[in-house]
Amino acid sequence: MLIDTYGRVATDLRVSLTDRCNLRCTYCMPEEGLQWLAKPDLLTDDEIVRLVGIAVTRLGITEVRFTGGEPLLRPGLVSLVERCAALRPRPRISLTTNGIGLARTAPALAAAGLDRVNVSLDTLRPDVFQRLTRRKRHQDVLDGLAAARTAGLTPVKINAVLMPGINDDEAPGLLAWALDHGYELRFIEQMPLDAQHGWRRDGMITAAGILASLRTRFTLTPEDAGERGAAPAERWLVDGGPGRVGVIASVTRPFCGACDRTRLTADGQIRNCLFAREESDLRAALRSGATDEELAERWKRAMHGKKAGSGLDDPAFLQPQRPMSAIGG
């Protein structure tokens, strides 16, 4: 079991498969991209499956989420899903993606055992999409969403980040569109995880601002607090339901007290918090011949020292040295 000194138990594993991405979102990385990890530094497919297996069979992990960068860029993704779905006890397996390439791969991923997807989509306007991502791939994302729904990768969740002066007027329209298509929309406050370290607290659209915008068009009823559990999103019934909308307010309404996540980076580092500035190296131990038991103990120690909170409210807060693309969402 992965338990920290505050009694929180990690049951949700986020696995970054690559730091590479085929978009250049302004709130994530510069237009020219980043210096990507060298291939020898990345965990191999066999190493990923072994570590996920240790997490599931020895450490109590029940949910596995593949992330990036962009995980659809990982050549062995379908096989990784299939091999992890064969573990016993079987974990629930999901994928966070920008949706590009999902139209092509959704059927194979579903057949391999993927349970559902989260797709990033910040706008319904192709011109705004290009401004935000620096790529003309808006229709590819819409096609990927539709393919995921058709393949049964449900509930299909959409993650949206609102940026001042760019798409901050789109919240009601995005929600109406998502409800019409059977998707579950979740707005995420912009977090200090950009490679440029340009994030500013006074320059972000807060959860309060998002909800105020949505209420200009919809009636929102808070979901029973008991249904949230360790989920990062607060959820509201829209116009009495059954449709819902979520808001992940990592900055203004942190949920650290109920956090149940542990993170494995593409280069084999354990992160006990998304905003941590320290990592614990499993790759070196794994490649030096450590046993499954030894790797499990290292993982336990890494999680035991998890801090009480992210530290975002501390005036001395410093962003992680590595950006979101390198550490996984």
Binding residues for [4Fe-4S] cluster, as ranges, are 21, 25, 28, 256, 259, 273
Please identify which residue in the block is written with the tokens 């990690």.
10
CB crowding 308-321: b at 16 or more within 10 Å, else e: ebbbbeeeeeebbe
Please confirm whether the linkage preceding 155 is cis (ω < 30° from 0): yes
List, as residue ranges, the binding site for S-adenosyl-L-methionine.
27, 69, 120, 191
Q: Quick one: which of 266, 325, 268, 278 has its CA closest to 304? A: 278
Which positions make up the binding site for GTP?
Answer: 14, 65, 96, 157, 261-263
Using alpha carbons, select from 306, 203, 302, 184 the residue that is nearest to residue 251.
203
The neighbour count for residue 75, using CB atoms within 10 Å, is 11
Show binding-site residues.
Answer: 14, 21, 25, 27-28, 65, 69, 96, 120, 157, 191, 256, 259, 261-263, 273
From residue 215, alpha-carbon distances to 175, 176, 184, 222 in Å are 11, 12, 17, 12
